[in-house]
Amino acid sequence: MNERASNLLTGIEKRDIRSLSKAITLLESSLQEDALDANDLLDACSQLAQKEETHRIAITGVPGVGKSTFIEVLGLRYIAQGKRVAVLAIDPSSSRTSGSILGDKTRMERLSTEANAFIRPSAAAHTLGGVASKTREAIVLCEAAGFDVIIIETVGVGQSETAVRDMSDTFVLMMLAGAGDELQGIKRGIMEMADVMLINKVEEANLAMARSAKSEYRMALHMLGEDDYNWNPEVYMMSALHGTGIEEALHGIEIHKAFINFESRQSDRRAKQNITWFDEAMKVLAYQRFYAQAGLRERIAEMREMVAAGKKSPLAAARALNQA
Ligand SMILES: Nc1nc2c(ncn2[C@@H]2O[C@H](COP(=O)(O)OP(=O)(O)O)[C@@H](O)[C@H]2O)c(=O)[nH]1
Ligand SMILES: [Mg+2]
């Protein structure tokens, strides 16, 4: 390991936030000269990470549902319990400079001033293997730096949830009462992934509607059936802004943690997740190596023209380029 990587590693071991931040930036780098250090660092951190004791919580839901507001409350609770909390935000649609990320930061104002909190906005969307794969690496680094609770905030639309489910112990889905499933962009597939469901913004004016939404969701979850571990997801009502129902919601998350910690379910789940990670990394690296071939770009352009002119079928053209 060279000096830069080993300095960062020392910093991470000392729980230095600046080193952690720099290390994550290094891992996000797409520069060829950073790749080796990034690998060394990730490897060393995987060995360091106190894996079993940490809790990886994914919070998902449509923009505006109140994820960041809830994470601030949740994070402060964990800190009050003496834990160290890292928040990683994934927004597949945004780059680092976008307004939504800045908005998140201000919404976690109190959390961000805590010495035992670390808040990291989304990686740039064009990083190799996608934002989600970088988040996975960031989790490893945060755990190596002694963070006990890792909260991953992600928008509940698009394809990122499956990836996020694959890197969390507890998958929390936040909903609004009465907005209608279609309106919320919540697909059945996402509901199937939920370990805990929270209906947010439940206040006096919509209490009745929230109650009926709750029983509808409970019924829907029940019909979806149990997951691999026979866990029955529960639905809670709360107002992250006004602080009502928070105890119950936290309790729901904690019960799930206790459940997965039982009989090595968590290590089992993480082992499966690591296999998925490996499979994805294989694809990304194979893809990268393939496209790094000299002269490939010209050959692709040539084949495209032949396909367009009807001189070669698309499949035959692709096969021709893949026979190396
Ligand atoms: N009335 C009400 N507003 C809330 C609640 N939680 C969040 N908000 C507001 O909803 C907006 C979006 O919240 P935010 O946490 O940024 O949502 P995110 O996009 O899911 O992260 C903000 O203006 C919050 O103040 C709640 O429980 N009740
Ligand atoms: Mg947010």
Q: 3-state secondary structure string, 5-43?
A: HHHHHHHHHCCCHHHHHHHHHHHHCCCHHHHHHHHHHHH
For residue 140, report the distance from its CA to the centre of ligand 1, in Å.
29
Q: What pLDDT, on the 0 to 100 scale, is given for residue 98?
A: 44
Helix axes 32-48, 130-144, angle to 10 degrees: 50
Helix axes 265-291, 130-144, angle to 10 degrees: 130
Substitution site in 60, 67, 69 for ligand 1 pocket (most atoms within 8 Å of beta carbon): 69
Burial class of residue 17 (count of CB atoms within 10 Å of its CB; 0-12, 13-18, 19+): middle
The residue behind tokens 């919404």 is 107
The Cα 65–Cα 201 span in angstroms is 8
How high is the mean pLDDT in each 10-residue block of the chain (324 residues)?
94 95 91 89 86 85 90 96 93 52 64 93 60 85 95 75 85 83 62 91 91 87 75 93 96 94 83 89 87 90 95 94 79
Q: How far apart are the first and last CA of the chain?
A: 34
Number of Cβ atoms within 10 Å of the Cβ of 303: 18
* Local structure of 66: helix, strand or coil: coil
Q: What pLDDT, on the 0 to 100 scale, is given for residue 102?
A: 47
Q: Which atom of ligand 1 is nearest to the CA of 100?
A: 19
Q: What pLDDT, on the 0 to 100 scale, is given for residue 131?
A: 66
pTM of the model as a whole: 0.86
Q: Among all ligands shown, which has an atom nearest to the Cα of 104?
A: 2
Q: What pLDDT, on the 0 to 100 scale, is given for residue 164?
A: 83
Q: What pLDDT, on the 0 to 100 scale, is given for residue 306?
A: 95
Q: What pLDDT, on the 0 to 100 scale, is given for residue 127?
A: 55
Q: What pLDDT, on the 0 to 100 scale, is given for residue 186?
A: 62
Q: Are 211 and 81 in contact (CB under 8 A)?
A: no
For residue 198, report the distance from its CA to the centre of ligand 1, in Å.
13
Enumerate residues lining ligand 1, CB below 6 A: 61, 63-69, 107, 200-201, 203, 239-241
Q: What pLDDT, on the 0 to 100 scale, is given for residue 226?
A: 67
Retrieve residue 146's tokens.
């002694």
Q: Specify the pairing of strand 170-176 against strand 55-61.
A: parallel
Retrieve residue 296's tokens.
């490939």
> Which residue's CA is the nearest one to ligand 1's atom 7?
66
Dihedral-angle region of residue 129 (phi above 0 means left; psi in -120 to 50 means alpha; beta otherwise): left
Q: What pLDDT, on the 0 to 100 scale, is given for residue 51?
A: 55
Q: Which of 205, 257, 251 is nearest to 231 (CA)?
A: 257
What is the DSSP code string of 69-93? HHHHHHHHHHHHTT--EEEEEE-TT
